[in-house]
């Protein structure tokens, strides 16, 4: 399989390109586009103009599908060409067997993509299709974005403003307290306990995503859609990145509000928090253990520990674990060893999974799973599907939660859920048409 690429003329923003491709897909009756926007593969955006994302229900098949790759010629620096776009929902490995409104997983192969590099140059990249014909098609299509017709092409229909129904906060605090009892009894060190918000949704999931990207500037945003619904992931967190045989994971554990200048001091407060530091170190050790199962002996390292980073509405504490995949291990093996992400489960992971199933009243759905792209040329990058809206059958769902340790305060944990949900609740509630 040969990777080819050609520079495109447009200087449009990723949200504009995605909106145009979504309109094109609807007009021509094609499957929807898929998009990764933010910090992906050393680029600013990777968009598949059209890709059919097919539901996958079995765990083994969900992990094996993106590992099915053909060799490609040595690509140019930064080139991606195409690959498997999709997601793995938390439901795949929920011991209770519960499921949300969306399929437990979905993958689709794209043999060409539009990629925006860090210099602002757009590229058309292919893994097989005729490059010249496609380049002429997309240059002509994207020229509309700089023409007088652009406002008509990008007219937004938006969505009907909606308020999410929150669960009873007292029920969440009871679950947190029960988790703390399990920790006190020595059953585990930490578990992530979550709540689920629900609402009605009438409108365009793609426009919800593009508005979220513009307003929140998430580092790991992913848009995936099909006849089954849509995943609007505005995540700040990297689950896995594999380049060649090198692997890294950047778990986030530890959160404080970042609502304005008054919360600036929370960055230092977070770094000095005994509870949050302990939470992060425990999960970092869990990720080290997960990666160690499939990595070359002695290759697992922690190049970054306890860094304070910004995310919409909050400060986060994150660390990075890196390793080299053992020679006989595949992407499917890597996913088996590490999924679901450690930062949204707990330690030990298996007991945390069981406790989550006991204490949380409903399935997590896609939330706390992973979304992204696996490319034969560029490797694998998957986010942790947090700050993620799931749209299906006229409804929208949002999961939020946090890590519970022996030092947790149940009331504070519920407030953390509200802080994390606030930017997405505002996005749904206050939509107003604005230029794409």
Q: What is the DSSP annotation of 95-162?
A: TT----SS-SEEEEEESEEEEE-TTS-EEEEESSS-HHHHHHHHHHHHHGGGSTTHHHHT----B---
What size, in residues, is the chain?
436
**Quick one: pLDDT at residue 200?**
97
Inter-CA distances, 190 with 185, 257, 266, 345, Å: 12, 21, 23, 8
With a cut of 70, say whether residue 152 has pLDDT above it.
no
Banded pLDDT at 259 (limits 50, 70, 90): confident
**Quick one: pLDDT at residue 433?**
46
Mean pLDDT across the chain, nearest whole number? 94
Over pLDDT 90: what percentage of the chain? 86
Inter-CA distances, 46 with 110, 121, 243, 374, Å: 11, 12, 16, 12
Digit-coded pLDDT (tens) for 308-343: 998 888 899 999 999 999 999 999 999 999 999 999
**Quick one: pLDDT at residue 151?**
55
Q: How far apart are CA 218 and CA 38, in angstroms?
A: 6
**Quick one: pLDDT at residue 144?**
86
Over residues 355-360, mean pLDDT: 98
The answer for residues whose C-beta is within 8 angstroms of residue 43's C-beta and 6 or more apart is 78, 80, 115, 116, 117, 118
With a cut of 50, say whether residue 435 has pLDDT above it.
no
Digit-coded pLDDT (tens) for 46-59: 999 999 999 999 99
Banded pLDDT at 156 (limits 50, 70, 90): low
Over pLDDT 70: what percentage of the chain? 96
CB 251 within 8 A of CB 341: yes
**Quick one: pLDDT at residue 75?**
73
Digit-coded pLDDT (tens) for 32-41: 999 999 999 9
Of residues 147 and 64, the one with the higher pLDDT is 64
SS3 state of residue 199: strand
Over residues 6-27, mean pLDDT: 95
Task: Please tell me the least confidently modeled range out of 10-19, 33-42, 142-151, 158-167.
Answer: 142-151
**H helices present in 293-409, as ranges:** 331-338, 349-359
pTM comes to: 0.95
**Quick one: pLDDT at residue 150?**
59
Over residues 291-304, mean pLDDT: 98
With a cut of 90, say whether residue 76 has pLDDT above it.
no
Report residue 162: phi and psi, to 5°: -140, 150
Residue 169 CA to chain centroid, in angstroms? 26
Q: How far apart are CA 331 and CA 68, in angstroms?
A: 9
**Quick one: pLDDT at residue 436?**
44
**Quick one: pLDDT at residue 146?**
76
Positions marked catalytic = 237, 253
Query: Could you say which DSSP state residue 432 is in?
Result: -
Which residues pair with residue 122 across a beta bridge? Answer: 116
């Amino acid at each position: 399989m040969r990777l080819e690429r050609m520079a495109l003329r447009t200087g449009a923003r990723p949200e504009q390109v995605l909106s145009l491709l979504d309109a094109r897909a609807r007009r021509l009756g094609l499957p929807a586009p898929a998009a990764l926007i933010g910090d992906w593969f050393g680029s600013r955006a990777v968009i598949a103009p059209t890709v059919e994302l097919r539901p996958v229900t079995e765990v083994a098949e969900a992990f094996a599908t993106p590992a099915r790759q053909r060799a490609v010629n040595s690509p140019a620096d930064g080139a991606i060409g195409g690959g498997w776009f999709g997601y793995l929902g938390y439901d795949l490995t929920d011991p209770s067997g519960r499921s949300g409104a969306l399929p437990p997983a979905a993958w689709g192969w794209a043999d060409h993509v539009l990629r925006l590099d860090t210099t602002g140059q757009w590229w058309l990249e292919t893994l097989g299709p005729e490059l010249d014909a496609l380049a002429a098609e997309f240059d002509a299509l994207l020229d509309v974005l700089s023409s007088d017709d652009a406002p008509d092409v990008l007219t937004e229909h938006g969505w009907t403003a909606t308020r999410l129904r929150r669960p009873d906060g007292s029920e969440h605090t009871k679950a947190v307290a029960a988790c703390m009892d399990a920790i006190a009894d020595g059953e585990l060190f930490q578990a992530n306990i979550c709540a689920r918000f629900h609402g009605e949704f009438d409108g365009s999931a793609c426009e919800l995503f593009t508005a979220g990207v513009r307003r929140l500037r998430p580092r790991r945003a992913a848009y995936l859609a099909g006849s089954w619904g849509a995943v609007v992931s505005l995540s700040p967190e990297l689950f896995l990145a594999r380049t060649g045989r090198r692997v890294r994971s950047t778990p986030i554990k530890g959160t404080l509000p970042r609502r304005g200048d008054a919360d600036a001091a929370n960055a230092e407060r977070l770094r000095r928090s005994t509870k949050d530091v302990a939470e992060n170190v425990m999960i970092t050790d869990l990720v080290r253990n997960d990666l160690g199962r499939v990595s070359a002996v002695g290759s697992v390292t922690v190049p970054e520990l306890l860094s304070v980073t910004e995310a919409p509405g909050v400060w986060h504490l994150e660390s990075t674990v890196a390793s080299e995949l053992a020679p006989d291990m595949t992407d499917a093996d890597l996913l088996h060893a590490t999924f679901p992400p450690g930062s949204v489960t707990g330690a030990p992971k298996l007991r945390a999974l069981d406790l989550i199933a006991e204490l949380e009243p409903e399935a997590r759905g896609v939330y706390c799973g992973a979304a992204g792209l696996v490319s034969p040329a560029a490797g694998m990058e998957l986010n942790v599907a947090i700050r993620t809206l799931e749209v299906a059958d006229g409804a929208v769902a949002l999961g939020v939660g946090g890590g519970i340790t022996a030092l947790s305060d149940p009331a504070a944990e519920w407030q953390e859920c509200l802080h994390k949900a606030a930017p997405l609740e505002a996005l749904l509630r206050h939509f107003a048409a604005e230029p794409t």
